[in-house]
Amino acid sequence: MDKAEKIMADEPNQATLEEFFTGIASCEYYDGSCYRLYLDTDDDSLSIDRQASSNNWLQRDDGSLIEIDRVSGCCDTPEDERYVAGCDLCDYGYTEWLEQIAKKIEEFATCPA
């Protein structure tokens, strides 16, 4: 199991990934704010942060907090095409999105500090 698989297999991280993608697929995250998914390389945890502007973000001087994904702006997706609870997230591209996230995590995991 590679580093990304280990991080993404962690139950709290799985919940964070699902929460973040649900916000994207349901268009809840397209409210004019900026939502970011971060990897904390100190403990391999994932977290979500919301800022009023895409000009604000979290960072650490030692570089141990890495932005993995972000979503901002507004959405014009019709209501009937948005994710709602009870639907299968995979129908909205969840599996493909997880593959992209795994590649990003692996990229940062193999970079020298």
Mean pLDDT by 10 residues, the chain (113 residues): 89 97 91 93 95 87 92 86 89 94 87 57
Q: Which helix (H) or strand (E) holds 45?
A: strand 45-51
Rounded Cα–Cα distance for residues 39 and 74 (Å)? 25
Amino acid 6: pLDDT: 94
Amino acid 111: pLDDT: 63
Amino acid 86: pLDDT: 87
Q: What is the pTM of this model?
A: 0.89
The answer to whether 66 and 108 are in contact (CB under 8 A) is yes
Amino acid 98: pLDDT: 96
Amino acid 110: pLDDT: 66
Amino acid 35: pLDDT: 95
The answer to whether the Cα torsion of 75, 79, 99, 36 is positive or negative is positive
Q: What is the DSSP string of 46-77?
A: EEEEEESSTT-----TTS-EEEEEEEEEE---
Distance between first and last Cα of the chain: 21
Q: What class is the 3-109 domain?
A: alpha beta
